[in-house]
Structure 1
Amino acid sequence: MEARHLRYALALAEHQHFGRAAASLGIAQPPLSTQIAALEREVGERLFDRTSRGVFPTAAGDAFLARARNALSEMSLARVDAGRAARGETGRLRIGFIGSALLAPLPGVIGRFRRTHREVRLTTQELDTPTASAALLAGELDVAVGRGGPRGAGAEDLVTVPIGADHLVAVVSVAHPFAGRQSVDAGQLAQEPLVVSPDAAASYLRQVFEFDPTVLDGAALARDIHTIAGLAACCAGVGLGPNRMRLIARNDIWFCDVEPRFRLPDLQMSFRADDSSPVLAAFLSVVRQNCPDVGTRLDDLLARHPAATEWQRGLGAS
């Protein structure tokens, strides 16, 4: 039994005449009669009464036609749903990110993606860079945004693109002696109690204070940039973090550049190279629209892995 058999039966029930039904279907009457007879043999019941007044469904025919309508409707919806899934309009996307990415560029990216893909189940979770990378490799995330590229076993299976550059700044209370200054140097910071993230203390900040490796030993550790700024406002120490912290709207803190200027590891977005999900392709398209500098780099990277054709099709659809 095929979908066309269901359509033939519904057309015959509507027109109550083989000739008119055949004309509406664009076929000749004899083939329609043959197909209806074959359908009745397959079902094992007489579906239509042929009378001099016309052709009318039997009780068995009425029951069959009700199911046939539902079946054709479901088949139509199945085609629609398949198309939407192929275009990344439905499905699931799981994103892990560090807190500073919520200042920029994630608000623009996620906001735009939600507006254009309302039926995608979007899950977001704040994670430090090593944890997000591990979750991505384990298949627990689809996208990870962190400071610097993923490292360790399995990192070669990821595609990573930079989505934002930044440099180090200091944040202090407006009551701190540094308040009002445009910059401070690393030597001056070394004389102050510091507030930093654990990830930064374990990695790039060691380069800033390479002249005295003990500077960070007594630093207060804060999970995110808002806590760093809050502790600085409380005079608990001088906070260190990315320049994008300046987007935090508080009137009780002051930001200073750190001299010499220290470029932080780029904000990076990673995803699995073998992930050909249309939802991810749709998300990457939005990333390209909101992060102009990443466009060609993303194309170059995608062109080098097995799912390149699918990715380019998804990216070009935006």
Structure 2
Amino acid sequence: MEARQLRYAVALAEHQHFGRAAAAVGIAQPPLSKQIAALEREMGARLFDRTTHGVFPTAAGEAFLVRAHRALAEMSAAAVDSGRAARGETGMLRIGFVASALLEPLPRVLVRFGRDRPDVRLSLHEMSTSRSTAALVSGELDIAIGLGSPRGPGVESLAWAPLGQDRLVAAVARSHPYAGQQTIGLGQLRRQHLIISAGEDEPAVIGTLRALFGADTGALEGATVARDVHTIAGLAACGVGVGLGPARMRMIARPDLWFCSVTPHTLLPDLTLSFRAAEGSPVLAAFLDTLRGHCADIDDALARQLGPG
């Protein structure tokens, strides 16, 4: 049984005439008659009564036509669904990200992607860079957004690109003596109780801080270690100490918090997007297209690794 035979049977039932049905499906009448006869032989039953008043479905034909309509509708839906999937309009995208990515640029990207691809299901997981990289390599994630270039076993299979540079800033409570200052120097930081994230979880960040403080690491060793930038900001606002984090932390809008630039100017590890280089997912390709519209440098970085997008 072929799809065209289903269409011929449906057209014949609708027009009740071989000639009109043949014209409707765009073939001559003899081939249509032959196909209907072949279909009846295959079914082992007469599907249509041929009368002088027209051609009408038999009881067997009525039962057959119910299924034929359903089958044709499913075939049509399958063609639509496969086309949408090929264009990255449906499916799932699994993303692991560090918390600071929710400050910038992830919100703008997710809003735009959700508006353009409302039927793509997003599975979002906050996790450390090391965990998201391992999950990406093992196939548990499609995208990892972390700090610095990917490290660990299997990263040679990944493509990655920076989403933007950032620099170190300090956050203090509005009641803190440093509130109102535009900058905080390293000497001032050494005399304060610090609040930092990372530790073993993000070696790239703690490495940057150790390089900044040099041999005098006492302030770091006695620091309060927070889970993420949001906790750093919250603890700093409570007067616990001076929080250190990326400049995008300034996007945390709190009336009880003041931000200062840190001198010397200290670059932090790039926020980095990673994915499996051999991945051919249309949904991933669509997400990368959205990122290109929001992150100025990612297009060139991806082109160097994957070729022009």
Comparing 267-276 with 179-188, greater Cα deviation is found at 179-188
1:105 is the counterpart of 2:105: yes
1:214 CA drift (Å): 3.4
Question: Secondary structure in 1 aligned to 2:141?
Answer: coil
Structure 2 Cα separation of the partners of residues 208 and 169 of structure 1:
13
Partner of 2:286: 282
Distance in 2 of aligned mates of 1:189 and 1:268? 28
1:269: which partner in 2?
273
State the AA in 1 paired with 2:226. Answer: A
Q: CA deviation at 1:157?
A: 0.8
One-letter code aligned to 1:170: A
Residues of 1 paired with 2:97 and 2:24: CA distance?
57
State the distance in 2 between where 1:292 and 1:45 align: 67
Q: Of the candidates 213, 221, 227, which is equivalent to residue 223 of structure 1?
A: 227
Query: Which residue is equivalent to 2:295?
Result: 291
In the TM superposition, what is the alpha-carbon distance from 1:139 to its structure 2 partner? 1.4
Please identify runs of 4+ aligned residues in structure 1 that moved more than 2 A.
198-203
8 Å CA contact retained: 2:146, 2:273: yes
Q: Which segments of 5 or more consecutive residues in structure 2 lack a partner in the other structure?
A: none
What TM-score do you get using the length of structure 1 for normalisation?
0.93
| Equivalence for 2:135 | 135
Q: What are the superposed Cα offsets for residues 284-314 of structure 1, whole Å, 9 maximum, x if unpaired? A: 00000111222222222222xxxx8xxx4xx
* Percent of pairs with identical residues: 61
TM-score normalized with structure 2 length:
0.95
* CA distance, structure 1, for counterparts of residue 231 and residue 256 of structure 2: 14
Shift of 1:31: 1.2
User: What residue in structure 2 maps to residue 190 of structure 1?
Assistant: 190
Could you give the per-residue CA deviations for residues 227-274 of structure 1, whole angstroms, max 9, x where no partner exists? 101111122111000011111111111111111100111110111112
**Is 1:54 matched up with 2:58?**
no
Aligned twin of 1:173:
173
Distance in 2, Cα, partners of 1:61 & 1:55: 11
One-letter amino acid of the counterpart of residue 185, structure 1: G
Distance (whole Å) between structure 2 residues aligned to residue 229 and residue 49 of structure 1: 80
Residue 136 of structure 1, CA deviation:
1.2
Displacement of 1:22: 1.4
Selected match of 1:256 from 236, 253, 260:
260
Residues 89 and 117 of structure 2 are in contact (CA less than 8 Å); yes or no, is this contact kept in structure 1?
A: yes
- 1:40-99 deviation digits (Å, cap 9, x = unpaired): 011111101111211111100000011111101100000000000000110001111111
Query: 2: CA distance between counterparts of 1:223 and 1:74?
Result: 50
Deviation at 1:25, TM superposition (A): 1.9
CA deviation string 1:83-120 (max 9, x = no partner): 00000110001111111111111110001001111111
Superimposed CA distance per residue, residues 8-61 of structure 1 (whole angstroms, 9 cap, x where no aligned partner): 111111111112211222211111111111110111111011112111111000
Bigger mean CA deviation after superposition, 104-113 or 20-29: 20-29
Partner amino acid for 1:260?
P
Q: How big is the shift at 1:215? A: 3.0
Gaps of at least 5 residues in structure 1 are: 313-318
For this pair of structures, how many residues does the alignment match? Answer: 305
